[in-house]
Structure 1
Amino acid sequence: MKKNNTISLACFECKRKNYSTNKSAGTVKRIEKMKYCKNCEKSTLHKEEV
């Protein structure tokens, strides 16, 4: 059985970590999602932080 890993998503523009989510252990690709950033006050691309 594979375990889920908790990761954080950071705004691509201001680099703040705004969201956390789960990622399955078998996933190799990094997660990228359009999310609302409170600091930028708009929807921006959020990428998985290392």
Structure 2
Amino acid sequence: MRDRIILACTDCKQRNYTTTKNKRNNTERLEIRKYCKFCKTHTVHKETK
């Protein structure tokens, strides 16, 4: 039930992180505040396709 997802920075659009999520419990897209090494700040990262 857990699927691999890719997180992309909302500012620079770089795909920085991979993680897993349970699609049965979390149907909407994931948003996590993480460090972006390209922006050199903490930004919101959203789930991509």
- Normalising by structure 2, report the TM-score: 0.92
Gaps of 5+ in 1: none
Partner in structure 2 of residue 33 of structure 1 = 32
Higher alpha-carbon deviation: 6-15 or 23-32:
23-32
Determine what percentage of the aligned residue pairs are the same residue: 44
Q: Which runs of 4+ in 1 moved over 2 A?
A: none
Count matched residues.
48
Partner in structure 2 of residue 17 of structure 1 = 15
Partner in structure 2 of residue 46 of structure 1 = 45
Higher alpha-carbon deviation: 25-34 or 39-48:
25-34
**Alpha-carbon distance, 1:25 to partner:** 2.4
Gaps of 5+ in 2: none
CA RMSD in angstroms comes to 0.6
CA distance in 2, matches of 1:45, 1:25: 20
